[in-house]
Amino acid sequence: MIKIEKNKFDEFLEILKKEYNVFAPKKEGAQTSFKEIKFAKDIEFNNINTKIPKEIFFPQAEELFMYKDSKIENIEKKKAIAVWGVRPCSAKSFILIDKIFGRAKQKPGDKNFEDPLWKTKYDDSLVFTIGCNTPASTCFCNWVDCGPFDSTGSDVMVYDDGNGFLLEGISKKGIKFLSDIKDFEESNDKDRQNIEVLKNIAETMLSKPIDKDLLKVKIDKSWNHSIWDEMSAKCINCGACTYNCPTCHCFDIQDEGKSNKGKRIRLWDSCMFPDFTNEASGHNPRDLSKDRFRQRFMHKFKYFPENNGDYLCTGCGKCIQVCPVNVDVRDVLNKIIEF
Amino acid sequence: MVKELQEKVKQLFKDKKVDMVIGWRKGSLPLSSSPLFINKIEDVDNLIFDETCQNNLAVYITKDKRRLVKDGKKIGVIVKGCDARSLVLYCVEKQIKRENLVIIGVPCKGVFDKRKVMEQVDNKEVLGFSVNGKEVTIKGQEFEKTLDKFEIASDSCQSCVYPDAPVFDEFITEPRKEKPDIDEFAKVDKFEELSLDDRWKKITDEYSKCVRCYACRNVCPSCYCNVCFVDQNDPQWIGKSPEITDTIIFHLIRNLHVAGRCVECGACARACPEGIDLLLLNKKITKEIKERFGYTAGINIDEKPAMQSYCENEKQDFIMG
């Protein structure tokens, strides 16, 4: 584990920039979101409530290819990406999306499908995850197999002890990167003890998780239950939750342009929208607000776990913060358990 | 006041004057409330009204939520001034019969704009608040900050001249006799003073933040087309990417489609996860409509809407020069 004092962060950034395009939280107006960073002074280090970093690897609108006359032009590959300062809930979300877009064969008989746009960006990336010393009241990462210091999806874990950052290699890539950089001091026993203290404090700030076994039993039986009518009544079916969710990854494909020049783009889509499942025949299997509301939670807490072994939720709480009508995923889970 | 409200709603249930009442309950976050659908008298105790009750509940009468409103059933809706105006709009536009509505007015003193509060406390976690007249004390983990209530009120409240329901069946306490002494178009006037380039820059700067989540459209009571033009895909009317050209078309068409119908509740701006100033252009159009046609939406059920009527003496300078 190496130690970087905050006033030496510029030096560290210079090293990182040699091989990577560096993304980090940057404050612009009232929002803090992940942007490409040239100077350490542009980084907002303390805001836990940044926008989610999904866009770095999975932009809202992404060109699949362009065409001009009758030629197809592929999109050029860019320099590898390093992301500084994502939270454990975001780092884990990369792994979850990778289960879909970056999937190599996971079990015999699986069809091998990989998404080149995701893989070219994500596979070479270096993810620096910063542990959350003070989780927010909307955080429920401990409910869904994540946590304020969970290292899933991280190449390097970063601990902020007030004076500086302690960097711990997690993945092979991360360990190699740290062993290659010189000029920074090694951490000592006291630093390591401090980290343990920070971890313990953070744990106590989180709420008691739900009973996951019970959730499984109940959600399996809930399909026709009236709780879905009750819970969805207030949902207005906008896409604020899905577009701010680190794990939502559904997309739409659109062609833009004319016959001799144009592009095919992939765009975020949302299961909350009525046209998401509208079929060419005019039939819509998820016609009602309730159907779409139920789908979102079923996908996250039933279908995805059944297919991939993990909840499609990392407990970041962003959807709770942005929902205009206060749909709280924790209330939804509690209602499912209690019916 | 909340006790009175609860008693009134209970009485309405007892007298069988309502089959369902839509109101607010305490939300899961300190600065939030949540829409509440009351079907039986026991649920009334959850009812609240305070500065967190920012949703315009009229929205649940139309759109996909239409099914909540069963044929011929009597729906009570608890309303601030702006929400009541939406209900009036629905009566004017024949979305619901007046006799099926029980409009329950509450004295609105403005609602919080969560984003403004968060800015004032440097985005620190808010754990609670208390209101004392014109001051609000925001409490957090290790801080307490007293703020001017007007400063953290929603933009729509800062320019609101109809805080109480103009039409109602019941009113908790008394509606104010006089309109608030506020220049409702102060922000619009300032915007109009800008040069054409600066106005366009302001609009493009704001709308370029849009991620096309349609939260603004979906919380808007005036936006209730069966199929919105942005969802129309055969033929497709508009590109779906968040590029400024398409985004701005979405917003400008929405602005024009709610011209003379917008009740300036500001629900769009509060719902926007990107913090876009969505009220400004709507307010600008409201001003135009008022000046040209002397019409304000949602005030009078019997008055013909500006965009659906014609008078010979209307200003026509935009046609005749």
Q: For residue B69, what is the nearest residue in chain A, using CA coordinates?
A: A233
What DSSP character marks residue B19? S
Residue at B99: amino acid letter: E
**Whole-complex ipTM:** 0.92
3-state secondary structure of B187: helix
pLDDT of residue A107: 66
Tell me the chain A residues in contact with residue B233 when contact means C-beta distances shorter than 8 Å: 275, 278
Q: How far apart are CA A34 and CA A22, in angstroms?
A: 10
3-state secondary structure of A131: coil
Tell me the chain A residues in contact with residue B33 when contact means C-beta distances shorter than 8 Å: 326
* pLDDT bucket at B9, cuts 50 / 70 / 90: very high
* Partner B, chain A 117-176, Cβ-Cβ below 8 Å: 134, 136-138
pLDDT of residue A104: 63
Does residue B214 sit at the A interface (CB-CB below 8 Å)? yes
3-state secondary structure of A39: coil
Residue at B284: amino acid letter: K
Nearest-5° angle of CA A64, CA A69, CA A70? 70
Q: Which of the residues in chain A have pLDDT under 70?
A: 75, 104-112
Please list, in sequence order, all residues whose beta carbon lies within 8 angstroms of the beta carbon of residue B244, skipping any fewer than 6 positions away. Answer: B204, B207, B208
pTM of the model: 0.92
Nearest-5° angle of CA B259, CA B211, CA A248? 135
| SS3 annotation, B44-103 | HHHEECCCCCCCCHHHHHCHHHHHHCCCCCCEEEEECHHHHHHHHHHHHCCCCCHHHEEE
A186 phi and psi angles, rounded to 5 deg: -80, 150
Count Cβ atoms below 10 Å from residue A48 Cβ, excluding itself: 18
Q: Helices in A107-251 by DSSP H: which ranges?
A: 116-122, 172-180, 189-204, 212-221, 227-232, 240-243
Residue at A265: amino acid letter: I
Q: How far apart are CA B290 and CA B296, in angstroms?
A: 6
Q: For residue B206, what is the nearest residue in chain A, using CA coordinates?
A: A29
B144 phi and psi angles, rounded to 5 deg: -145, 130
Condensed to tens digits (0 to 9), the pLDDT of residues A207-248 reads: 999 999 999 999 999 999 999 999 999 999 999 999 999 999
Q: How far apart are CA A214 and CA B293, in angstroms?
A: 61
The shortest C-alpha distance from A107 to chain B (Å) reads 36
Count Cβ atoms below 10 Å from residue B30 Cβ, excluding itself: 18
Condensed to tens digits (0 to 9), the pLDDT of residues A152-209 reads: 999 999 999 888 899 999 999 999 999 988 778 888 888 889 999 999 999 999 999 9
pLDDT of residue A110: 66
* Partner A, chain B 146-205, Cβ-Cβ below 8 Å: none
What is the CA B62 to chain-centroid distance, rounded? Answer: 14
Condensed to tens digits (0 to 9), the pLDDT of residues B221-272 reads: 999 998 899 988 878 889 888 889 999 999 999 999 999 999 999 999 999 9
Condensed to tens digits (0 to 9), the pLDDT of residues B175-188 reads: 888 888 889 999 99
Distance in Å from the first CA to the final CA of chain B = 54
Tokens of B147: 């703020």
Q: Do A30 and B59 touch (CB under 8 A)?
A: no
**Polymer length of chain A:** 339
Tell me the chain A residues in contact with residue B35 when contact means C-beta distances shorter than 8 Å: 233-234, 325-326
What is the CA B15 to chain-centroid distance, rounded? Answer: 30
Q: How far apart are CA B285 and CA B305, in angstroms?
A: 14
Does residue B59 sit at the A interface (CB-CB below 8 Å)? yes
For the CA atoms of chain B, what is the radius of gyration?
20
CB-side exposure of B73: number of CA atoms within 13 Å? Answer: 15
**Polymer length of chain B:** 321
Q: Do A320 and B28 touch (CB under 8 A)?
A: yes
pLDDT of residue A95: 94
What is the CA A41 to chain-centroid distance, rounded? Answer: 25
Q: How far apart are CA A94 and CA A155, in angstroms?
A: 12
* pLDDT bucket at B321, cuts 50 / 70 / 90: very low
Does residue B271 sit at the A interface (CB-CB below 8 Å)? yes
